[in-house]
Each structure stands twice: as C-alpha cells, then as structure tokens.
C-alpha cells in the first residue's frame, strides 16, 4: 500500500472540512480511479464533486494534474505518475474556469 497526496481546490476543501492537501492510501499499482475511490471513501461528502455520481469519468469542470501534465482525459485505469506514487508530488484536483 502507498499513500498518495491529493491537493484540492478551495471550494472542495471547505465542503470536506479539510486542508489544501489530503492523503489517501491506495494499492501499490494505483490508478487515477483508485485515488478518486479512496478520496470519496475517506471524504464521502466529495462524492459527485470530482466524478459524476456512479461513473468513473470526471466532471466537466474538474481537471487532474500531476508532474506538469493534464491527466483529465486519461482513462480512469491510467497508472499514477511515478512522482505521485513516491509521494514527491501530489495529484492536483483543479476547478476549471469557463467563460467567454
């Protein structure tokens, strides 16, 4: 088992009553879905905020970043990047902004 750091945007921090960064425990070969499953299990109030209810896909205005890359369009079974797996860097959940 490994511990993954997850960085949350301010509105999700307030909703869950947590600080900017939380930690979740996942298996040794963790995927994006594993981290989001663990995040929702430890903070049930976040269900439906990062992913659609009952679905693996992220919500339209939520993005996932790690190691300087946008992982938002990667399949849920994508393995976590190395520096996230080692705890050197968090998986960042970012609220996207739209407008025109």
Return the CATH number at 69.
3.10.20.30
Domain of 90, in residue numbers: 2-95
Number of separate helices (H) and strands (E) present in the chain: 3, 5
Per-residue pLDDT of the chain (100 residues; tens, 9 = 90+): 999 999 999 999 999 999 999 999 999 999 999 999 999 999 999 999 998 877 777 888 899 999 999 999 999 999 999 999 999 999 999 987 776 6
The answer to whether residue 80 is domain-embedded is yes
pTM above the 0.85 mark? yes
The answer to whether residue 22 is domain-embedded is yes
The answer to whether residue 100 is domain-embedded is no
The answer to whether residue 36 is domain-embedded is yes
The answer to whether residue 76 is domain-embedded is yes
Q: Which residues of 44-83 are buried (b: 16+ CB within 10 A; e: fewer)?
A: eebeebbbeeeeeebeeebbbbbeeeebeeeebeeebbee
Task: Look at the chain and report how many structural domains it folds into.
Answer: 1
């Amino acid at each position: 088992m490994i511990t993954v750091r997850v960085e949350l945007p301010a509105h999700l921090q307030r909703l869950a009553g947590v600080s900017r960064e939380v930690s979740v425990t996942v298996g040794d070969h963790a995927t994006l879905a594993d981290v989001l499953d663990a995040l929702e299990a430890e903070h049930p109030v976040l269900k439906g905020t990062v992913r659609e209810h009952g679905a693996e896909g992220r919500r339209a205005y939520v993005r996932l970043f790690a190691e300087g890359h946008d992982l938002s369009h990667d399949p849920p079974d994508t393995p976590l990047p190395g520096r996230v797996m080692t705890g050197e860097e968090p998986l960042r959940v970012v609220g996207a902004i739209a407008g025109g």
